[in-house]
A and B are shown apart, each in its own frame.
Chain A
């Protein structure tokens, strides 16, 4: 990706953010889960959002992706307000996501799962005839993506039979197949064993720079190894945002969150 800023400082002052959140709020009853969140994500940056359990990270991803509504505030994708759009429309505008709890179609093969996403992008899904499983226009791009994530050898297996780590990789492949500009990843390492997580981290490193990535992750080693910038969410509020180093040494962060992790 030529022309994308390379340093965290550059990301911070990028003229036109790929994704911007402006005063976003959400409450579940009396519980404020997202509290005046404003963030900007520069094109091509990998921006990690960390925070303790229940901080509201997943809810924030739900709001950005459109799975959950927002009480107030705005979400801008490439400067365009998408706050009112349903999830599917946001995906078609280039905003894809993965889920904390793996969300694939277990009865479809890995190839079909990815080809489905290719199909969603290409359209013509009201076509009633022609065997979709043999359509190379869908299968060829799907196979290429499966190769990138390292699942090509398992492409014809029903996705429900894949190992947990493979399902996480498949979910990334599905998201990539929608050809997003912004990828929202909710704990892609959740529940993976050490070997599996190494594979997913390697994959994330491959994807870095190709997409603007918003990464939620509890694995601090992964976060500090991958992220250009880190924001810390506590009780729905962004308490710090900056380079990994700056955040690591931020006293408020240490007190609220990182201290217990012994960083």
Chain B
């Protein structure tokens, strides 16, 4: 079947098998940052954005992206690099295999939540596994990066609002599984 996808800002028309996964579609179009680590939607390595929202591309048919916008790490070079520096400085980039999916979700979190608490950060990123780092360095990097972004004026607490967003996020994650 023919689909038309806006991949990292560029419209692509391709003829695909109806059962092709979005993950394989991205990799076939040279977005090799998208990694595969499992078959059970447990690792988060394959995280990309579909219309700006993080999804597990191993769990989404490419056909589903027809007419939509898909963003991978290749499309967010600048931002990714900036956060990547914070990560590397904390020693949190070890084998790096988890990084693309992890960073996609971190950047999505930044867009979705203001002033997230530690619990919210952990919860948002819970689906992104990392076997090397032990996670603590990720947290240090996120803190320092968020602090660097924060302007003094915005230091109020948005916690209740955040909780609702979190809930919405988790619910949206659940529905993704049925795509």
Q: A and B: real partners?
A: no
Q: Which residues of A contact B (CB under 8 A)?
A: none
Q: Which residues of B contact A (CB under 8 A)?
A: none
